[in-house]
Amino acid sequence: MNKEVKHLISKYFDEDHLPQAYVALFDEISQLLEARTTPTHPSTPMANADLQAVYQRLRDSLNVFGSSQDMDERGADLSSLILLAKRVKKECANKIIRQQKQLREMKHLKTIQTLASAGSWELPVTDDELCQPGYWSEELFAVLGAEPGTLAPTAGAFRKNYVHPDDRQYLSTAVDKAIKETGRYDIEYRIYRGGDPKQKRTVREIGELVRDEATGRGLRLIGVTFDITDIRNTERALFKANVEMRKLFDVMEDVFFSVSMERYEQEILQMSPSCVQLYGYSVEEFFKDPDLWFTVIYDDDKEAVLENNKRLSRGESSQVVYRIRRKNGELRWVESRITPTLSHEGKLVRIDGIVTDITKRREAELALANSELKFRSLLENSNDAITVASEELKFLFVTQSLSRMIGYTVDEIIGTSVFDLIHPDDHATVNSLVHAMEKDPDAPVHFELRFRVKDGGWIWCEGSVVNHLNGDIVKGYIGNFRDVTYKIRYRKALEASNNRLKKTNNELDRFVYSVSHDLRAPLASVLGLLEYTMSETEDEDVLQDLGMMKGSIEKLDRFILDILDYSRNARLEIKVNTVDFQHLLADIRDNLKFMHAGKSALRFDVNIQENGAFGSDERRISILLNNLVSNAMRYADPEKPDPFVEVTIVSGAGGADITVRDNGIGIPAEYHEKIFDMFFRVSEKSNGSGLGLYLVKETIDKLKGRISLQSVPGEGTTFSIFLPSLL
């Protein structure tokens, strides 16, 4: 191919994608040029007919380009042909350039449409109506959410398929008016993207009418439709934010302000209305008096504020707490935070700031400081020591009171190990305390430990410690204790004396038994011999003497028995068991049979009604019943034909009611109060020790029961006892 042509192609075309028609044309041109520039065949000039044919083709080409008119009619001579060819070449190049440009513009337009989500369209107007299909750009299809070509581009299809039903009328009216009157419209309306009511979008549409210049009637309506949903949403959000901002500004308790510092006199640019709440002055008042902000500052704080504001000129923001006096004279604590703006030259041009009412916070702070002070003073003046020890058992904090207690200064104690201050014998206790606290944090553990005193020696301290290693405020073992040395010493002394007492008591008990046995044994021997001797003789005088001796010895024996019972009652613990009254009364009956063998024909009646388990000390009940029954026998009335003693027992889980009734000689009323006294006897004739009823009373007291009596001399006596069940 001809070089020139090749150059042209490479300059204006993408050689690889040259349209086929162009290739043929370029070939032809190339050949022609070759023919001209190759003088190798001058001797073989072209046939006239051939030249004529070439000429004709060149003219045709020029016609195609529309530039043949101005050409002189030239012959088909070679020079003309060359001229023509040059012309064709030029036109060809121009056309290529134009096409190129057009292509670029199209591409540009398309890109813009895509970027702006704007689709363009053109519809023919026929008799002021949009009936004919027109042109929709690809992007318009995209805006509508439709595939290009799937739909005839008519106004009717557009409105029916995509426009929100509520907005169809609105759109038609606007379009109608534009065609008939204004020639232009610019409206917003809603569409269903892809015809889907769920995909609501807002579009803006601008339409322009192209008129027939002669008639003024509308020819075409050209327009652009673009999706402004996102823009609208953003705008709406922005508006909302603005409104809220405004609201916030109005309701904020903090006061915002901006002040221009450019002129000599400061000029307030803006101030939030909340200044009325904070200062008691309105925005207007602040605008009117530029110095008002300074006037309201509490006199004592003015200097500090001015000093702080110097930072602003250096471009540093300031934060300062001071007091202001409100319009009503009330003092308020405020905190102001100001950010300065400097000019390029470093001059302060503007400040923006917030003033916050911190009166409440300040008061709370002061109250806290105050309460801290009180608390500390309480701690320091308390007699209890309060300590905090680390996990490694080193003192982190101790109160002055500990120092007073043990003589070391607070500084000497802090940092030392707990073990250094605690008696070596108590280290095991400390370890067990730690163990207990590990098991159950938050539960205070009680302790008694010996602490080292600086002057030597030890003091006993009693208190508790709690595991606060995971505490929020205080981390560590918190101890709280006091000097109880005197108490412990007292207790130790008490324990020792208690032990001595116990020992004495035991000894006394053993003593009582052994003495009573040693006393009784010979008595029993004498009694035995007396009885034996009495059975050997018939002599009345001797029998009477021996009988008196026997009575006396029996009295002594009973006395010993009573003392023994008394001792047992006073000293022995109560042993609670289910009481078997049947068995108990049978024993008593046996016992009495020996005691009063052959002495009296006393009737002994027993009525027992056991309604459930009754618990008490059976041995003690036995003692008191034995005493009451033997009293009844001893003081039976010999005059009566049927002397008796009757024991009635009604027992159950609630307790036991015991009645011992006799028809004996009775007790005169004046003695009723006294008969339970120790060693009290109604008459010298009475054969008792004077311990019996005392023992009964003591035993009943021990069993938490009560006793009462009814007695009429000559008629008999009734003892009524109630014993609670101790089970």
Partner 1 sequence: MDSNNFNFEKVMVVDDAEIDRFLAKKVLTKHAFAKEVLPQDSAMNALSYLSENQENKEALPDLIFLDINMPKMNGFDFLEEYKKLPESVKKKCIIVMLSSSLLPEDRELAMNNPYVCQFLNKPLTADKLKDVANP
Which chain residues interact with partner 1 by CB under 8 A? Answer: 513, 516-517, 520-525, 527-529, 531-532, 535-536, 561, 564, 594, 597, 619
Element containing residue 338 per DSSP (H, E): strand 331-342
Q: Count of H helices and E strands in the chain?
A: 22, 22
Tokens for 324?
């202001």
Measured in Å, how far apart are the chain's first and last C-alpha atoms? 133
User: From the CB of 590, what's the least distance to partner 1, in Å?
Assistant: 9
Pairing mode, strands 577-578 and 476-483? unpaired
Q: Which is nearer to partner 1, 2 or 616 (CB)?
A: 616
Q: Which is nearer to partner 1, 320 or 595 (CB)?
A: 595
User: From the CB of 598, what's the least distance to partner 1, in Å?
Assistant: 8
Classify 605 in phi/psi space as left (phi over 0), alpha (psi -120 to 50) or beta. beta
CA 288 to chain CA mean position, Å = 51
User: From the CB of 557, what's the least distance to partner 1, in Å?
Assistant: 9
3-state secondary structure of 639: coil
Q: Which is nearer to partner 1, 502 or 593 (CB)?
A: 593
Give the count of beta carbons closer than 10 Å to the beta carbon of residue 662. Answer: 28
Q: Which is nearer to partner 1, 345 or 536 (CB)?
A: 536
User: From the CB of 584, what's the least distance to partner 1, in Å?
Assistant: 13
Element containing residue 464 per DSSP (H, E): strand 458-468
Residues near 420 by Cβ (< 8 Å), separated by ≥ 6?
452
Q: Which is nearer to partner 1, 567 or 710 (CB)?
A: 567
User: From the CB of 596, what's the least distance to partner 1, in Å?
Assistant: 11
User: From the CB of 531, what's the least distance to partner 1, in Å?
Assistant: 6
User: From the CB of 456, what's the least distance to partner 1, in Å?
Assistant: 53
User: From the CB of 535, what's the least distance to partner 1, in Å?
Assistant: 7
Residues near 85 by Cβ (< 8 Å), separated by ≥ 6?
29, 32, 33, 36, 58
User: From the CB of 579, what's the least distance to partner 1, in Å?
Assistant: 15
Find residue 282's DSSP bridge partners.
none
Element containing residue 619 per DSSP (H, E): helix 618-634
Q: What is the 3-state secondary structure (H, E, C) of 549-561?
A: HHHHHHHHHHHHH
Q: Which is nearer to partner 1, 229 or 567 (CB)?
A: 567
Nearest to 336 by CA among 307, 357, 314: 357
Tokens for 424?
């070596």
User: From the CB of 726, what's the least distance to partner 1, in Å?
Assistant: 19
- C-alpha–C-alpha distance, residues 358 and 272, integer Å: 17
Q: Which is nearer to partner 1, 148 or 522 (CB)?
A: 522
Nearest to 324 by CA among 287, 362, 352, 298: 298
Q: Which is nearer to partner 1, 283 or 534 (CB)?
A: 534
Residue 490 phi/psi, 5° resolution?
-60, -45
Q: Which is nearer to partner 1, 204 or 619 (CB)?
A: 619
Nearest to 317 by CA among 292, 346, 351: 351
User: From the CB of 527, what's the least distance to partner 1, in Å?
Assistant: 5
CA 653 to chain CA mean position, Å = 52
- C-alpha–C-alpha distance, residues 551 and 185, integer Å: 147
Nearest to 432 by CA among 419, 445, 421: 445
Pairing mode, strands 644-652 and 603-611? parallel
User: From the CB of 522, what's the least distance to partner 1, in Å?
Assistant: 8
Q: Which is nearer to partner 1, 213 or 536 (CB)?
A: 536
